[in-house]
Structure 1
Amino acid sequence: MPDAVAPAPTDAPATEAPVPTAAPDTAAPDTAAPDTATPAPDAPATTSPPPTTETLVPWTGAHHPLTGLPAVNGLSRLPALAVKIGNNDTRSLPQVGLEAADIVYEAHIENNVTRFLGIYQSQLPERIGLVRSARSTDINLIGNLKNPYFAYWGSNEGVGAEVTAAESVGTFVARSTSGVGQENFVRDDARGASPFNGFLNAQGLMAAATGTAPDPVFQYGDLPASAVPAAGARWSTPNRQIDYVWDTTSRRWLRFQGGVPQLDQNGVQLAADNVLFLYVDYKVSAADFDSPQAVSTGTGDGWLLRDGTVTGVVWGRPFIANGWHLADDDTDEIVELAPGTTWVALAKLGEGKVLDLAEATAVTG
């Protein structure tokens, strides 16, 4: 609310002091009139109203599990939806519906480029794309979402067998271009040739979904005490450069890819409230010898970028059903995220760099 403005004081009417009058020349003693003037009346006091203040009442209701944001319009009871989304090259751009994801995981695929796994729960866009094929990395990543739905555009035979095995033990509910729900996967020739034109009717798919909402996989709360200012961070692979730069106006991390802003389907730059670098090991997928597979259990180093700062963290996740435990790498205190969306870079050790102001300015131009 704008600050209240006090009214200007009202000027008192000008009152001229009377001129002293000499005493008449009489037999009375020759006494001069006192050299005084009648004081002007004081201007009426003007009292400014007290400044208007806005009291923020802490939210005591429910919070969305995958963002930590207040569920002011009520909680979604739907299970989470994980969607494999392309980012191979410019033919994958712009992505559709990616900005609505609560969490976005980004991992290496073939040729040292990356692909997204968008996790949706607090909100569900009508259309998501470009939908691409599953990878071995995805299976363990979503094992902590309480039997989510996993939407992808097919797979090779080896990954397909891994998906079937994971689904059979309740890790997720698989939905693809064959079987139940296949009518919700469509190709749009306006986006070019296959495989760069696949879309998911997310709301149609989830209309028949059963199950429950996930538990949180991160903790949300205050800024870590050891956080230090940071202008941005960079993830570099042999074939890709990804930058996140802190924007003081929106108070979010703006995403750049290949040195240019990465935009959504509406021309709005993709951004996140948290960016989490998790340094993980990669191994060759047993299902596809050309495909790297991120190892997302165990422990490792990383960085949390939030609120214009960076904090060094140690991440831990003993089993795929566990959420992510983040501890300060100096104090061992629990590290909490800012409420909001989170993008997770599953990077190899040595691929990350914290940007100073000059480097971040060079990115934004």
Structure 2
Amino acid sequence: MMKKWIAVTAALMILLAGCSSKETKTDKDAAKQHKEKEVEDVVKEAEKLPYQFPLTGIGTKEEPAGRAIAVVVNNHPKARPQSGLNEADLIYEVLAEGEVTRLVAIYQSEHPEKVGPIRSAREYFIDLALGYDSFFVAHGYSPEAKEMLDRGDIDNINGIQYDGTLFKRASFRKAPHNSYITYENMIKGAEKRNYDMNAAPDSAVFLSKEEFDELEGAEAKDIMVSYGTPAFDLIYEYDAEIGKYHRFSGNEESADLDSKEPVLIDNLLVVQMDHKIVDSAGRRDVDLESGGTGYLFQKGKVNEIQWKNEAGRIIPYKDGEKAGFVPGKTWINIVPSISDVSFDSEQ
């Protein structure tokens, strides 16, 4: 795959060299100044806004309100492309049984029309959602997850109880890859259960403008994350024009089913956690507590980090200090081994 990237990059360089011969230095300087002016205008506009959303750090005119909602999203190839992932503030990707990953998508700043397909809960999905005091949405559960839900460890609704009412089955996909829920029905479900949905989660740590301008790290524009099978292996490609990463899964770019808008990522955090098979069905225990190593990718650069679990959240540290996030969307890949991650670090 790295050879493919190198070949593609070489071809692009030749093409761009041919095009650049037709451009004058003045044209290039003018284009650069225009781009810099656009970025400067965006920064100035953001600085005028008195508040920021707690999970993205994006500026907003009004003080953010509204509880975070964590939704378990199916990531099987038969469930792709999904709905609503491009509007999540934060997404965890982690193995379930076998080499299949599932997603825990957390929403607060945006309210997607619908999300899905929805899939069943695992106990470590619930633990991740608890870190944001989330209202938890899933369709089904493992025995251990059911015990947690029955005990009331987290406010939740589940498609097992609301299949065909709050949760709807799409006709163009087959079960278990066809359960969807609208944002409106999530709120209705919370109201049915008398849950308080007003309080916003605590804010994550975000880089200031000065820290953003001085962001350091080795170059990392092309990243691979392996989960052991091609259908779930990932490629992230940095788009310097917009300063974000594109995500590719199974050789297809991740995008919304209906709008076709791509999933764009500002912070890619990849962390190693110990995984252990715990039953004959292949269910896993994932150690969310002990801390460990990882990589934080931002703006085409990478830093090695140590992660800690703080109040249920996976927090990156660099040189003993919290590593702030770039304002925007965050994706966190949890892997069994840091050797499952590779990237192009050529300068």
Q: Deviations over 1:231-251 (max 9, x none)?
A: 121111221310111011222
Cα separation, 1, equivalents of 2:233 and 2:160: 35
Query: In 1, are the aligned partners of 2:128 and 2:313 still within 8 Å (CA)?
Result: no
Deviation of residue 159 (structure 1)? 2.5
Q: Residue type matched to 1:234 in 2?
A: M
1:227 aligns with 217
2:327 aligns with 339
Deviation of residue 76 (structure 1)? 4.0
Matches within 5 A, 1:1-365: 56=44, 58-59=47-48, 61-72=50-61, 74-89=62-77, 91-146=78-133, 148-165=134-151, 167-168=152-153, 172-179=154-161, 183-190=165-172, 192-207=173-188, 208=191, 209-211=195-197, 212-221=199-208, 222-223=211-212, 226-239=216-229, 240-265=232-257, 266-285=259-278, 289-317=281-309, 321-328=311-318, 331-349=319-337, 350-356=339-345
Q: Residue type matched to 1:82 in 2?
A: A
Q: Residue type matched to 1:343 in 2?
A: W
Query: In 1, are the aligned partners of 2:86 and 2:255 still within 8 Å (CA)?
Result: no
Q: CA distance change for structure 1 residues 247 and 310 in 2, over 3 Å: closer, same or farther?
A: same
Any unmatched runs of 5+ in structure 1? 1-50, 359-365
Deviation of residue 217 (structure 1)? 4.1
Any unmatched runs of 5+ in structure 2? 1-36
Q: CA distance change for structure 1 residues 225 and 253 in 2, over 3 Å: closer, same or farther?
A: closer
Query: In 1, are the aligned partners of 2:69 and 2:135 still within 8 Å (CA)?
Result: yes
Q: Residue type matched to 1:227 in 2?
A: G
Query: In 1, are the aligned partners of 2:223 and 2:235 still within 8 Å (CA)?
Result: yes
Which structure dedicates a bigger proportion of its chain to helix?
2
Q: CA distance change for structure 1 residues 268 and 201 in 2, over 3 Å: closer, same or farther?
A: closer
Deviating more after overlay: 267-276 vs 127-136: 267-276
Query: In 1, are the aligned partners of 2:127 and 2:312 still within 8 Å (CA)?
Result: no
Query: In 1, are the aligned partners of 2:267 and 2:326 still within 8 Å (CA)?
Result: yes
Matched length: 294
Q: CA distance change for structure 1 residues 56 and 271 in 2, over 3 Å: closer, same or farther?
A: closer
Q: Residue type matched to 1:232 in 2?
A: D
Query: In 2, are the aligned partners of 1:126 and 1:201 still within 8 Å (CA)?
Result: yes
Identity %: 23
Q: CA distance change for structure 1 residues 357 and 205 in 2, over 3 Å: closer, same or farther?
A: same
Q: TM-score, normalised by structure 1?
A: 0.74
Cα separation, 2, equivalents of 1:214 and 1:181: 29
**SS of aligned partner of 2:291:** strand
Deviation of residue 137 (structure 1)? 1.8
Q: Deviations over 1:227-286 (max 9, x none)?
A: 222112111122131011101122210001123322221223322111111111112347
Q: TM-score, normalised by structure 2?
A: 0.77
Deviation of residue 66 (structure 1)? 0.7
Q: CA distance change for structure 1 residues 352 and 210 in 2, over 3 Å: closer, same or farther?
A: same
Deviation of residue 179 (structure 1)? 4.5
Cα separation, 2, equivalents of 1:181 and 1:75: 35
Deviation of residue 289 (structure 1)? 4.8
CA RMSD in angstroms comes to 2.6
**SS of aligned partner of 1:112:** coil
